[in-house]
Amino acid sequence: MSPAPSPVVLRLILGDQLNVQHHWFGSVDPDVVYVLMEVGQETGHVLHHVQKVTGFFAAMRGFADRLRELGHRVVYIRLDDPDNGQTFASNLARLVRDLGAARFEFQEPDEYRLDVQLREVAEKLGLPLACTGSDHFLTERDTVRNFFSGKKRFLMESFYRDMRRSTGLLMRDGRPVGGKWNFDKQNRRPYDGSVPVPPSPAFDNDVSSISDMLGSVGVRTLGRIEPARLNWPVNRRQSLELLEEFVNNRLAAFGTFEDAMNREHRVLFHSRLSFALNLKLLSPQEVLNRVVAAWDDGRSGITLPQVEGFVRQVLGWREYMRGMYWAFMPGFKKENFFGHTRSLPGFYWTGNTRMACLAHAVGQSLDFGYAHHIQRLMLTGCFALLWGTDPDEVDAWYLGIYMDGIEWAELPNTRGMSQFADGGRVATKPYVCSARYINRMSDYCPGCDYDRRDGAGERACPFNSLYWHFFHRNEALLRGTGRVGTVYATWNRMAWEVKKGLLKRAERLLDCQEL
Ligand code: SF4
């Protein structure tokens, strides 16, 4: 008599958990079945960029193939499979039944919504359950909460320095190398053409079958995709290639031009690694190790300010934002400090605006699913805040349009940093600007239909009057918050006629649908 088969363990892998180095995959167990699924509940959660959906699905399908090559048992449910119930709950219930699973396991989801949902699903399945870490982040979910416990302010800088000390990255004898924590003053210059921008690496992934399937199933998406071309890394090999390309070609000028914006060069010296990082095709530790090693070997000509600028993003901001997300969810998702209720202007969906800066930033986002952090913070985010947009709408737009848009990263950056909807927990002041900043950091203003020097005239740059309107209408909320004192001092020094002209111009713009 043959022995009874061992009960199956069903392990769920989410689309942003494509970490082949996870401890789950260290050995092959024939009793473990891994499941990945494309589900309508996720494609329809917000309106996603078409490249984001195809990129996720291409990466998930490739990951399933890789696990099979390694000898693991894998079930992959495609979006158009006839048996697909289109939710995690229905598909898991069917698989448990069909496979006779006796245990359900999953990795910690990074999104609050899915964390709640999977625990409910697990309870309904009525199986013994295990939830394990994702082996990805450098900190735990509650590290930031614990770090700031009992403190009034949540300064990223304090957290970042603590991370430098605890990891020893860019530290020597307990002190920061170079004697400084921060090289911002040497960094963040406008792009002047002094360093040639290398061409973007092309991956040319053929995703036509996925695009066709999205069309046949009727998935609504935004943005554009060239037929059969996805220029994003969808597996570990391509992700490592992108990391090498960044280290070899861009890192040496990364910090210097990290805040610059340019019509011709949409990526400039940025790494574009966030998609691969957020899907866990790469680990932040290996990215940091590679970048620091490139500086440390002394041969590359990469200077400390460039490396520190990058380390600050990955070791500091990325871990901090993830920790702030878990510290303040679910309330974070409802915060609306200014009580904003307006809708995003229509050009956020088309790029059709006479404002050259926003036409470029939105246009490249629609074309490519990408804009770098200053384009997001000081152009699209800034305008949405000046416009008085409901943060729910801003969140949904950012979550959908960007390749790296996953809620743990998107929400604290958008609702916290960019929209100041948390009242100043993440940001120490509202990040808004007039044309002066945009003109200093970009080449957008020359040739724009609007006049960057004018505040109140018919051709006046909308940023100028909306900037003052924002501070004027929110004076009761903002006056007294430390870092806007000089703004109100300047406003108070203005002649009433000047103020009146700016406010009238802003009111006209806010009534207008065509900008
Ligand atoms: Fe943007 Fe104003 Fe400059 Fe035009 S003038 S590009 S709207 S900042």
Q: What is the pLDDT of residue 184?
A: 82
For residue 460, the CA-to-ligand 1 centroid distance in Å is 9
Please list the helix, strand and coil fractions of the chain in percent, rounded to the nearest 5, in that order.
50, 10, 45
450 CB within 6 A, ligand 1:
yes
- Residue the block writes with tokens 């958990």: 17
Alpha helices in 107-259 (DSSP H): 112-125, 143-147, 156-167, 208-217, 236-249, 251-254
328 CB within 6 A, ligand 1:
no
For residue 466, the CA-to-ligand 1 centroid distance in Å is 12
What would the mean pLDDT of 467-476 be, rounded to a whole number?
Answer: 97
247 CB within 6 A, ligand 1:
no
Task: Give nearest CA residue, ligand 1 atom 2.
Answer: 461
Residue 451 CA: nearest ligand 1 atom is 5
383 CB within 6 A, ligand 1:
no
Cα 8 to its chain centre, rounded Å, is 36
366 CB within 6 A, ligand 1:
no
- Indicate if the pLDDT at residue 364 is higher than 60: yes
For residue 444, the CA-to-ligand 1 centroid distance in Å is 7
- Indicate if the pLDDT at residue 412 is higher than 70: yes
The pLDDT-based confidence of 5 (bands split at 50, 70, 90) is low
Lowest average pLDDT, out of 104-108, 149-153, 231-235, 348-352, goes to 149-153
pLDDT tens by residue, 58-108: 999 999 999 999 999 999 999 999 999 999 999 999 999 999 999 999 999
Q: What is the pLDDT of residue 471?
A: 97
The pLDDT-based confidence of 3 (bands split at 50, 70, 90) is low
CA torsion angle for 244, 249, 251, 253 (degrees, to 10)?
-170
Tell me how far apart the alpha carbons of residues 25 and 370 are, in angstroms, rounded to a whole number.
32
Residues 6+ apart with CB under 8 A from 61: 76, 210
Q: What is the pLDDT of residue 226?
A: 86
Q: What is the pLDDT of residue 357?
A: 98
Contact 14, 107 (CB under 8 A): yes
Q: Identify which of 360, 374, 445, 449 to mutate to test ligand 1's pocket (most ligand atoms within 8 A of the CB).
A: 445
Residue 379 CA: nearest ligand 1 atom is 1
What would the mean pLDDT of 173-179 be, rounded to a whole number?
Answer: 95
Q: Identify which of 358, 362, 452, 515 to mutate to test ligand 1's pocket (most ligand atoms within 8 A of the CB).
A: 452
Alpha helices in 329-453 (DSSP H): 347-350, 356-368, 373-374, 382-387, 391-401, 407-411, 435-441
461 CB within 6 A, ligand 1:
yes
Contact 322, 408 (CB under 8 A): yes
Give the residue among 91, 67, 96 at the shortest CA–CA distance from 79: 91
What would the mean pLDDT of 341-364 be, rounded to a whole number?
Answer: 97
Residue 448 CA: nearest ligand 1 atom is 4
What would the mean pLDDT of 398-417 be, rounded to a whole number?
Answer: 98
Tokens of 232: 């994003």
425 CB within 6 A, ligand 1:
no
- Residue the block writes with tokens 């960057």: 452
DSSP state of 457: S
Radius of gyration of the chain (CA): 24
Q: What is the pLDDT of residue 204?
A: 87
Q: Identify which of 261, 374, 439 to mutate to test ligand 1's pocket (most ligand atoms within 8 A of the CB).
A: 439
For residue 508, the CA-to-ligand 1 centroid distance in Å is 17
- HEC per residue, 165-202: HHHCCCEECCEEHHHCCCCCCCCCCCCCCCCCCCCCCC
39 CB within 6 A, ligand 1:
no
What would the mean pLDDT of 327-347 be, rounded to a whole number?
Answer: 97
Task: Give nearest CA residue, ligand 1 atom 7.
Answer: 355
